[in-house]
Every structure is written in structure tokens, then in C-alpha cells.
Chain A
């Protein structure tokens, strides 16, 4: 078979370039947008994804991890009673006000009070053991490297949280928060910083690890069965992280914005791509008509145009993948929150390929003008 579609694409690449670029840019925009959204809203659940706990027990109906309320110590007891739970650990969340040593005004911060033992589950992925051990010192806190500027401190500096003296003993990365700044401290430090005296001593969450081989989802369902130990809900870490990210995405209206932008990108991309493909078909309309006169069916001619659309899509995707990877690396080096999972990548690329195919279908309609009888006039 003569590769008409591919040879024409190579020979007349200037003609097809706008379409390839349109698909490429559309794909790149979708990918970056998805990466940014996942990165930014993923940081809403950094407490969960940065920790190794399988289960989270918190106040019933909590929509996002930052909205937790104090729960009874009895819940920890209930968790420990489950045969599949091997370890339970408290987590205290304190909303607080920060005053740095440099003049930064008040900064709203979220203090995470965690169990600082080396085998602690909270932030086990974000804090190396040596750094974690430094939190044993009373008043010691750790912040994200990227937040030092907005907090107006350097490592070793002293600052005030809710009027209490704290000292920055180290920095980590991957602790950036949404809508504020994350501060990690020990449970004891966090208790001192908590101003609301009425629930003093009460924890916000209890996180747990399940026995190796047990399914967290099954255990969570079992634990949610009764309210005998006071009101609480148990989530799997995965579900709670997802719920937190989604809450932020839709609470801020960003989710709708993202969908809207994706629609615009798709529309503009397919207009450019289909116009380019239509122009290419019209440019060869007499040749197509000749083939039809010689008996090559319309279905076969359509296939040629669709094949062209496919290659335009494939080349566009290739461009976007290469450029996207470069940008992702740059973003990562500069602590821009960007995150892409394989599923989202595939969805973005599939959308862009669909754009090319839809444009091809629009161009196929132009083939109706390939009337061999018109060649005789």
C-alpha cells in the first residue's frame, strides 16, 4: 500500500504544521493544567500523603483534613481493639497565628502536632529521622524550605506562634499547604500552642496502621459500624486524601474553572486543526477526485484523511509530551507544586487525540467536494 497520508504529511509539513502545533499546545495546556491542579490541590492532603498511616479517624462528616475537630481519646481505644489494627497514633491540628523575627505581619499557620518517635507514622515520608528527632526539643518547629520567606525566618531563628516562643530547628520539602503555612511540631509543643482551653488535651485525629495483608477499606468499614465510643468516622488514607483535594477543588471553584478552560482549549484546538486539515483536503481535492474516478471508493479516501488526522494528533502529542516533561522537571526544581499521575496523563493525551480525530471527521466531510465529474469541465 502506498503510504499516501504519511508521505503527504512529510512532503507538505508546512501545511500541516499549524494543526500539529494546535494539537500539541492543546495537549500541553491540558497536561500542565492537570499537573498544576493535582499539585496545588494535592497539597491539601499533604498530611495524609506524607504519612504512612492506613486509616484516619476524625470528627464525623469532616470534609477536608484541615477542617478537623477534636475527638475523644476513646476513639483511639476503639481503634486499638480491632484485631487488624497494629498501631495507633494521635495527630493534633492547631490553627494559629505566626509572628516572624522579620517584619511579616501575622501569618496564618497550621500547626501539626505529631508523635516524634522515629517510627511515627505522621509525616514519615516528609521528614527524615534525624530532622524528626530535633522536634523533641520543646518549642521546636519544622517548616517547608519554600515557606521561609513568607514566615520571615531562617533556620535557627526564633518566632512566636499564638504568642508562644518557638524555634525553627530545620526545614523540609513537600510540606507546603493550601491557604496557609504548615508548621510541624511535637504533640507537646502543639498542646502548648493551642489556645482553646475547653478541649485541651483532645486530639483532632487518630491515625492507624493495619496488619500487613489486611485491607484498610474492610477495616474502616468495620470500625464505622458503631458509635459506642463517641462520634467518629474512619476513612482510609486514600479516600480521605481524595476527599480533601476534591473539597478544595470545588470549594474554591477551581474545579469548574479547570473544566471550563479544558473546554475552551478543546474548542480552539479543534477549530485550528480541522481548518488546517480541511485546507489540506481541498489542496488535494483534484487528486482525490481522480482517485475516485479510477474507482478508489470514498471510504478509502476517508481513511486517508483520517490517517492524516491520526498522525497530526500523534505528532502533536509527542511534542506536548517532550515539552511537558521538560517543564515538569523545571517546576519540580523550583518547588512549583505540580503532580501528574499516569491516569490523568492518559486522559489528557486521549482528549487531545480525540481533538485530532474530531477535526479529521470534520475534514472528511470536505471530501464530498471531490467530484470526479468536475474534473471534466
Chain B
């Protein structure tokens, strides 16, 4: 394996993968998506996995987040061994510790922005006032305070993705997984979303694992993993992260956020 899993100063890794293997069978063909992959993701960092489509980055995200079991190897998240957990235990782990942002916004058309955010919170056993307070706070954090009573049909694409982020953020997760969060958005909205993800890692100490091929994200990441054919090719700290700027270092577009 290549030079991966470099230990950083932040202590115990939030996510650990040891010799993770995954293959899919389609018809008679068995294709291996992940080849004995070993990786540590550090607490409080924004880690970006990039690579061409089909390189296995989404599968890696699914396995690290407990959405999909690996065929072999060990996965530890926040010190919990995910490999042997039952479906119910995994659901409960995800409910307590993880947030997700997907490429599609996946918002219920019938619910207002506020209700979208409150919905998963209401399953966490929190008091009604706490649910409301957290939902309002995270919508304000993503800049949607004034628009929280609107339905998805009344929001722009960028605003919908911010609702989806607020929905993940309001759970106050230790782990936030994002899959191509900017690819359905235009430049300006993409930039806003990048800034928010960056801020979440900085301000909340959340471990953000983001899968994307969006080059704009690279400069905001604390660490960039390049993947190809189910292996990690390179693991480096991007130059921009060495001197973090408040969203000013993007060459092609500038955020109006």
C-alpha cells in the first residue's frame, strides 16, 4: 500500500479503516471496488477524497459511514467497531453521531425548511424546545434564517442544499459525510456550500469527510486523498490549508456569501 494513514497531531483518528475490501457482482463478473484499503481520518479535519468516477470513493464513504458493510477488514468509527454491528445498532450509531449531505437534496416536498431540519431531530429523543432551538440555529448558521418557513419548491438549488446541510448539522454530529455536495450547484452556490462545510470543521470540531471531484474544494480541505481503481494514490495537505483564508483563494469564482 502507498504512504497513507499519516498520523497527525489531533490524536485518535475519528475513522479507521484496516484492509477494507469490497467487491460487487454483476452477472458473472465480479469487480473489486476497494483493494485492502487502509486509512485514518482525523478528528476535526475536513478530509477530501477525490478521484474519477468509479474509483470507489463513494463506496469507501458508504463503508466508513456505516451505510454499507465491507466484505473484509475492520472499520472503526469514533472507537466503535462497525463491522459486526446489527442494522439496528448501525441506525442508532448513525442517529447519534453522523450527519449526511448528498448530491441530491432529498427534501420532503411537503415540509418547510424548518420541518426538514426538525424531522430527524425529533427521532433523537430531544425535548420539543431543544429540537426547535437547534433547527433554528443551524438554519441561521447556513444563512437561511429568514427563509425557514418556505417549502423546497420555493427555494433555489443552493438554498435546498443548505437546508440539507442544516438538517445534518442540527444533529450536532461528530462525523459529517458529504457526497459530491456541490456538483448539482452553480459556481456561486457551490462556493457557499464549500464555505459552510469548511466552517463546520473549524467551528464545531466536526470531522468532515467529503467525496468530490470539485477542484474548488481542494483548497479548503485539510487533507486531500486521491483515489483511483480502489486504491489511494496520494495523500497530501493542500497548499491553501497551510494558511487558511476566509474563502478568498478561489481562482475561477468568488463567493457573494
Binding site for B on A (CB under 8 A): 1-2, 4, 7-8, 10-12, 284, 286-287, 289-298, 300, 372-373, 375-377
The CA-CA distance from A271 to B84 in the complex, in Å, is: 40
The CA-CA distance from A287 to B122 in the complex, in Å, is: 16
Across the interface, which residues of A come within 8 angstroms of B211, CB to CB?
A: 376
Other-chain residue from A1, A2, A294, A298 in contact with B100 (beta carbon distance below 8 A): A294
B91 touches A377 (CB 8 A): no
B94 touches A294 (CB 8 A): yes
A284 touches B58 (CB 8 A): no
> Quick one: closest A residue to B115, CB to CB?
A2
Closest beta carbon of chain B to A223's beta carbon, Å: 66
B255 at interface, CB cutoff 8 A: no
Instruction: Please name 20 further chain A to chain B contacts, defined as beta carbons within 8 Å, in addition to the given A2-B119, A8-B108, A294-B100, sorted by A numbering.
Output: A2-B111, A2-B115, A2-B118, A7-B108, A8-B109, A11-B109, A284-B108, A286-B104, A290-B102, A294-B94, A294-B171, A295-B91, A295-B94, A295-B124, A297-B91, A298-B91, A373-B67, A375-B104, A376-B59, A376-B211
The CA-CA distance from A293 to B98 in the complex, in Å, is: 9
B28 at interface, CB cutoff 8 A: no
Size band of the interface chain B makes with A: 35 or more
B94 touches A293 (CB 8 A): yes
> Quick one: closest B residue to A300, CB to CB?
B123
Across the interface, which residues of B come within 8 angstroms of A298, CB to CB?
A: 87, 91
B95 touches A296 (CB 8 A): yes
The CA-CA distance from A295 to B122 in the complex, in Å, is: 11
A294 touches B98 (CB 8 A): yes
A295 touches B62 (CB 8 A): no
Across the interface, which residues of B come within 8 angstroms of A1, CB to CB?
A: 122
Across the interface, which residues of A come within 8 angstroms of B224, CB to CB?
A: none
A/B interface sample: 22 pairs, CB < 8 A = A2-B115, A2-B119, A2-B122, A12-B109, A284-B108, A289-B106, A290-B102, A293-B67, A293-B102, A294-B98, A294-B100, A294-B167, A294-B168, A296-B120, A297-B88, A297-B95, A297-B123, A298-B87, A372-B100, A373-B62, A376-B61, A376-B179
The CA-CA distance from A289 to B108 in the complex, in Å, is: 11
> Quick one: closest B residue to A375, CB to CB?
B102
B109 touches A372 (CB 8 A): no
A295 touches B123 (CB 8 A): yes
> Quick one: closest B residue to A376, CB to CB?
B58
Across the interface, which residues of A come within 8 angstroms of B83, CB to CB?
A: none
> Quick one: closest A residue to B177, CB to CB?
A293
- CB-CB contacts below 8 Å: B99-127 with A: 99-100, 102-104, 106-111, 115, 118-120, 122-124
Supposing A290-B100, A376-B62 touch, asked if A10 and B110 sit within 8 A by C-beta, the answer is: yes
The CA-CA distance from A11 to B107 in the complex, in Å, is: 13
A294 touches B99 (CB 8 A): yes
B19 at interface, CB cutoff 8 A: no
Closest beta carbon of chain A to B33's beta carbon, Å: 11
Across the interface, which residues of A come within 8 angstroms of B171, CB to CB?
A: 294
The CA-CA distance from A372 to B88 in the complex, in Å, is: 14
A291 touches B119 (CB 8 A): yes
B179 touches A375 (CB 8 A): yes
Across the interface, which residues of B come within 8 angstroms of A4, CB to CB?
A: 108, 110-111, 119
A294 touches B67 (CB 8 A): no
B102 touches A294 (CB 8 A): no
Across the interface, which residues of B come within 8 angstroms of A2, CB to CB?
A: 111, 115, 118-119, 122
> Quick one: closest A residue to B69, CB to CB?
A373
Across the interface, which residues of B come within 8 angstroms of A295, CB to CB?
A: 91-96, 98, 120, 123-124
Across the interface, which residues of B come within 8 angstroms of A289, CB to CB?
A: 106
The CA-CA distance from A12 to B151 in the complex, in Å, is: 13
B68 at interface, CB cutoff 8 A: yes
> Quick one: closest B residue to A11, CB to CB?
B110
Other-chain residue from B87, B95, B109, B111 in contact with A294 (beta carbon distance below 8 A): B95
Other-chain residue from A10, A290, A297, A373 in contact with B106 (beta carbon distance below 8 A): A290
Closest beta carbon of chain A to B93's beta carbon, Å: 7
A376 touches B123 (CB 8 A): no
Closest beta carbon of chain B to A215's beta carbon, Å: 56
Other-chain residue from B92, B99, B108, B124 in contact with A287 (beta carbon distance below 8 A): B108
Pairs of residues from A and B, 10 with the lowest C-beta to C-beta distance, nearest first: A295-B95, A11-B110, A295-B94, A290-B106, A376-B58, A7-B110, A373-B68, A8-B110, A294-B120, A373-B67
